[in-house]
Structure 1
Amino acid sequence: MATGDRADFNGILLYTKDYRERDLLVKFLTREFGKKMFLVRGAKRPKFKMRAAILPFTYGLYGGDIQSNGLSYIINDKRLDHFQAMAEDIAKNAYATYIMSLIDLAFQDGEPIPAWYDKLLVGLNLINEGFDAEIIANIFEIQLLKPFGVAPNWVDCAICHRRDLPFDYSETYGGLLCQNHWDKDPYRLHLDPRTIYYLRLFSVVDLSKLTHIKVNDTTKKTLRQVIDQIYVRSVGVTPKSKRFIDQLGKFKI
């Protein structure tokens, strides 16, 4: 095993992947080092001692051999927690997996992003505690647009910067248009005021201060449609976990 820097790290397990006959690759979002892939030797053996440390939806404090390039190695676990309710609920599981997939796609491996580690930990806790998983996912989708290189203007009119008139969303202008300039984009999305309100709210809401949120089904459906459209046309990524969520929606789970 190549020797890197021995260090403790706070990690949220993103996913595991088979590697050779008895080993696993385990990807963590760490608070200290960003996203890192770890090789865990012997992880598929029946008596592997650190099995609890690499279960899905696990997070905690680990000790590891951190490589600047290539695979890192987990040495031990020091404090573990587990999102039990999330692991047992197929819908919570799906939305949490989708959020983690988006974060994995939005940032380079090895790029320290402690604020996003903290945000993910709060978001997963909210889902685990029973907050609407779909809305928590919407918040992450909107706030991740900037890291993806798409930064809609949710603040004011893209043309005149007024804030006191009804808004609509324009893909052409990359954000909001006030009522005085709707004629500038015949392909604006024709969104209702409530949907615009939530899109603007989601762009700035602090998840750590969220105490309750309730969105009616009609607005949730519109939010889903417009966010999907922005991701398809402007971001261009669709994780496999998103396709699974779409399938869940068809069965109303």
Structure 2
Amino acid sequence: MNKWEGIVLRSIPYGETNKIVTLFTREAGKLTAMARGAKKPASRLAAITQQFTHGSFLIRKGKGMGTLEQGEQLDSMRFIREDLEATAYASYIVELIDRLSDDNERVGGVYGLLHDALHAINEQYDPEAIALFVEWKMLPVAGIHPIVHQCANCGATEGEFAFSFKEIGFLCHRCFHVDRYLIRITPNQLKLIRTFSTVPIHRIGNLTLKKTTKDFMKKIVRTIYDEQVGIRLKSRSFLDQLESTPELLPKKKKPDEKVT
């Protein structure tokens, strides 16, 4: 029997009364367990097996799939489940982490990233910016290591820089000839890419970005995923639809925007 802290990535019905629950745990990484009777409204496992729930889980491990015996809810992530935009971005984050993680393999930093991201969204930080953080920080887990602290070709740390999809990193102005399709970036954009890649979410605070800035950052990181990682996520299709039809979202009070 093991007691692990974790977050529910997904929960699917199994038979008339059961659920198969995929958790990402602090101690053991991603794992799947059978929650018997969890579909029954009166079940003590009904609440703890809802997607996004942060809890403490008692799991009996066997040769195959484990069994979820009981759980204690640490945070229900109520705001995420009640807000359409928060749900959409949180769904994208958990699907991305789920797809890039192997069962029973603990990868350093991923649980903390998932925990901080969902809690930040639940505390009503900008979900689009939080999702961007996760996308950039999961690239190394996918086997992609962008070079963001120096020129990918010559190693220079000073000068004008651009982003190269060919080199998956920065090129200084002396090396622009290496990639004819590079994207010019401003010093502010360079700083943001480094921030997204290296700074933990909990150290950022309530970072507010202009929509054009988020779109630029999103274009770069999603091109890397499309061309280098090659995964297609169902939740991303819904996000794209949501972003193209913002009128679907209820109007919210806008925070004062920083010029970034």
For Structure 1 versus Structure 2, the TM-score category normalised by the shorter chain is: over 0.9
Please list every run of 5 or more consecutive structure 1 residues that lacks an aligned counterpart in the other structure: 1-5
Percent of aligned pairs sharing the same letter: 31
User: Is the counterpart of residue 113 in structure 1 residue 113 in structure 2?
Assistant: no
Equivalent-residue separation in structure 1 for 2:153 and 2:163 (angstroms): 12
Equivalent-residue separation in structure 2 for 1:194 and 1:243 (angstroms): 29
Equivalent-residue separation in structure 2 for 1:79 and 1:93 (angstroms): 19
Aligned residue number for residue 153 of structure 1: 147
Q: Give 2:64's match in structure 1, choosing from 52, 60, 70.
A: 70
**Normalized against structure 1, the TM-score is what?**
0.92
Aligned residue number for residue 216 of structure 1: 210
Equivalent-residue separation in structure 2 for 1:118 and 1:159 (angstroms): 33
**Normalized against structure 2, the TM-score is what?**
0.90
SS of match in other structure, 1:168: strand
- Higher deviation after alignment, 16-25 or 243-252: 16-25
Equivalent-residue separation in structure 1 for 2:108 and 2:46 (angstroms): 26
Aligned residue number for residue 238 of structure 2: 244
User: Is the counterpart of residue 197 in structure 1 residue 191 in structure 2?
Assistant: yes
Using the TM superposition, give the Cα deviation of residue 126 of structure 1 relative to its aligned residue in structure 2, in angstroms.
Answer: 0.8
SS of match in other structure, 1:29: strand
Please list every run of 5 or more consecutive structure 2 residues that lacks an aligned counterpart in the other structure: 250-260
Aligned residue number for residue 3 of structure 1: none
Aligned residue number for residue 188 of structure 1: 182
User: Is the counterpart of residue 125 in structure 1 residue 119 in structure 2?
Assistant: yes
Aligned residue number for residue 14 of structure 1: 9
Using the TM superposition, give the Cα deviation of residue 28 of structure 1 relative to its aligned residue in structure 2, in angstroms.
Answer: 0.5
Aligned residue number for residue 48 of structure 2: 53
Distance 1:32 1:19, change over 3 A: same
RMSD: 1.5
Equivalent-residue separation in structure 1 for 2:108 and 2:229 (angstroms): 23
CA-to-partner distance for each residue in 1:125-155, whole Å, 9 max, x for gaps? 1111111111111111111111101111011
User: Is the counterpart of residue 227 in structure 1 residue 246 in structure 2?
Assistant: no
SS of match in other structure, 1:103: helix
**8 Å Cα contact 2:48/2:72 also seen in 1:** no
Equivalent-residue separation in structure 1 for 2:160 and 2:61 (angstroms): 51
**8 Å Cα contact 1:13/1:29 also seen in 2:** yes
Equivalent-residue separation in structure 2 for 1:102 and 1:130 (angstroms): 21
Using the TM superposition, give the Cα deviation of residue 227 of structure 1 relative to its aligned residue in structure 2, in angstroms.
Answer: 1.6
Using the TM superposition, give the Cα deviation of residue 192 of structure 1 relative to its aligned residue in structure 2, in angstroms.
Answer: 4.1
